[in-house]
Amino acid sequence: MTTMNPLTQDELKTLVGQAALQYVVPGEIVGVGTGSTVNKFIDALAGMKNQIKGAVSSSVASTERLKALGIAVFDANEVESLSVYIDGADEIDGQGHMVKGGGAALTREKIVAALAARFVCIADESKLVKALGQFPLPVEVIPMAANHIARRFQAMGGQASLRLKDGQPLVTDNGQHILDVKGLSITDPLAFESQINQWPGVVTVGVFAHQKATVCLLGTAQGVKTLDYSR
């Protein structure tokens, strides 16, 4: 008897990246997220580039990949709305609320997601959680507010650290910094997102509850599972 090898995380990402093509509307512009799972989607999208008008991208990295594959990239200001936005997540719960920003692109991701009627999340099954909060929460902040915001998180039981790259504070595509916050309990994602977004100096908090997923294509050992959050 032969035993089947379980799929690697990379293979699961490829599976869901390809599965997301079914949500791309021919003739339209598609919203494209950021990250290693989205990279698989972008590679698959290249196979249907002649059937779409192009993409609106959520990061410099995704823009470069799209352009390298011959897919036209539009500025978000050039589009009024999108039928669909496709992106990964660091965590997704049973209601479609997500934590995002592991790739530091959360602000542009939220902007492009806000333009779209549907958010299709693509993720391997390790991202599905009962409650958000295990993955350190990314928060994009104005640099001069970083320490003040870190102290506010500390007062609510979190530990915030400035994300570094090559020993220096990481600078986002928007010229800002990222705090990664551990130890938070996010029991009400909608209320939490609204609360943190009001703090002076917060550009974007990485909880996506107001722009939650409509559908999640989850890569599992049994294949792609579709979680529908639209009802």
Interacting residue with ligand 5RP among 7, 36, 142, 229 (CB under 6 A): 36
Residue 165 in tokens = 């790259």
Kindly state the smallest distance separating residue 30's Cβ from ligand 5RP, in Å. Answer: 16
Phi and psi torsions of 140, nearest 5°: -85, 130
31 belongs to the binding site for ligand 5RP (CB under 6 A): no
Q: Binding to ligand 5RP by residue 105, rule CB under 6 A?
A: yes
Using the rule CB under 6 A, which residue among 20, 90, 139, 150 binds ligand 5RP?
90
Q: How far is CA 227 from the centre of its chain?
A: 17
Paired strand residues for 228? 215
88 labelled ligand-binding: yes
Is there binding between residue 87 and ligand 5RP (CB under 6 A)?
yes
Contacts of 75 (CB under 8 A, 6+ apart): 56
Active site residue 125: no
Please tell me whether residue 75 adopts helix, strand or coil conformation: coil
89 in contact with ligand 5RP (CB under 6 A): yes
| Shortest reach from residue 155's CB to ligand 5RP, in Å | 26
Q: Is 133 in the site for ligand 5RP (CB under 6 A)?
A: no
Contact call for residue 54 and ligand 5RP (CB under 6 A): no
| Ligand-binding site membership of 34 (annotated) | yes
Determine contact, residues 31/115, Cβ cutoff 8 Å. yes
> Smallest gap, in angstroms, from Cβ of residue 31 to ligand 5RP?
13
100 DSSP 8-state letter: -
Please give the structure tokens belonging to residue 194.
Answer: 């609204």
Per-residue tokens: 164:
């570094």
Residue 162 structure tokens: 């400035």
> How many residues would you count in the chain?
231
Among 17, 101, 136, 189, binds ligand 5RP (CB under 6 A): 101
> Of the residues 11, 28, 78, 109, which is catalytic?
109
102 is in an annotated binding site: yes
Q: Indicate which residues carry an active-site annotation.
A: 109
Residues that bind ligand 5RP (CB under 6 A): 33-37, 87-90, 100-106, 109
